[in-house]
C-alpha cells in the first residue's frame, strides 16, 4: 500500500527557513516523479515543485530561488527546503506522487504558518 507521510511544518517568522520531509512507503521515491502541492487556508490547490527521475526540478515562479526539492533514496524520503519564507507561503503542504499527467497519491499534509 502506498503511503506518504509529511512532517516538518510549524510556525516560522518571515524570512526564516523550514525543511519539510515526506516519507514514502509502498514504492520508491527515486523511481517516480514526486511533487509538492500547497493549499493556503480556505483556498484552492497550487502546484509548488516537482522532481523528475533524473533529479531535474521545477518550481512555480513565486518560490523560485527560495525553495529546493530533493530526495534521499536511502531513506525513501522527499524534501522541500524552504528559505526566505513569506506570509504568502502560509499553507498546508502536500507531498504527492506524479502519475503521467495526474497525481495518484497524496500525503495528509503539513501546515506551515509564516507569521511574526
Partner 1 sequence: DVVMTQSPLSLPVTLGQPASISCSSSQSLVFSNGNTYLNWFQQRPGQSPRRLIYTVSNRDSGVPDRFSGSGSGTDFTLKISRVEAEDIGVYYCMQGTHWPYTFGQGTKLEIK
Instruction: Beginning with the edge strand found earlier in the chain, give each strand of the sheet holding 3-7 in spatial order.
Output: 3-7, 18-25, 77-82, 67-72
Q: Which residue has the cell 511533487?
A: 35
Nearer to partner 1, 13 or 56 (CB): 56
Q: Which is nearer to partner 1, 64 or 73 (CB)?
A: 64
Contact 29, 17 (CB under 8 A): no
Instruction: State which of residues 41, 54, 65, 101 lies at the interface with partner 1 (CB under 8 A).
Output: 101
Footprint of partner 1 on 57-96 (CB under 8 A): 58, 60, 94
Which residues, 43 to 62, sit near partner 1 by CB under 8 A? 44-47, 50, 58, 60
- Please give the radius of gyration of the chain, using alpha carbons only, rounded to the nearest integer: 13
Residue 41 in the binding site for partner 1 (CB under 8 A): no
Quick one: CA torsion of 72, 74, 75, 80, rounded to 10 degrees?
0
Q: Which is nearer to partner 1, 27 or 106 (CB)?
A: 106
How far lies 63's CA from each of 26, 27, 74, 87, in Å?
30, 28, 27, 12
Binding site for partner 1 (CB under 8 A): 44-47, 50, 58, 60, 94, 99-104, 106-109
Amino acid at each position: 500500500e502506498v503511503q506518504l507521510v509529511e512532517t516538518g511544518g510549524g510556525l516560522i517568522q518571515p524570512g526564516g527557513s523550514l525543511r519539510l520531509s515526506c516519507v514514502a512507503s509502498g514504492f520508491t521515491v527515486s523511481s517516480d516523479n514526486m511533487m509538492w502541492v500547497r493549499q493556503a487556508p480556505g483556498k484552492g490547490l497550487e502546484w509548488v515543485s516537482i522532481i523528475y527521475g533524473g533529479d531535474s526540478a521545477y518550481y512555480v515562479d513565486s518560490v523560485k530561488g527560495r525553495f529546493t526539492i530533493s530526495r534521499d533514496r536511502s531513506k525513501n524520503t522527499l524534501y522541500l527546503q524552504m528559505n526566505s519564507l513569506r506570509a504568502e507561503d502560509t499553507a498546508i503542504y502536500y507531498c504527492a506522487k506524479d502519475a503521467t499527467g495526474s497525481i495518484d497519491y497524496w500525503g495528509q499534509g503539513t501546515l506551515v504558518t509564516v507569521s511574526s
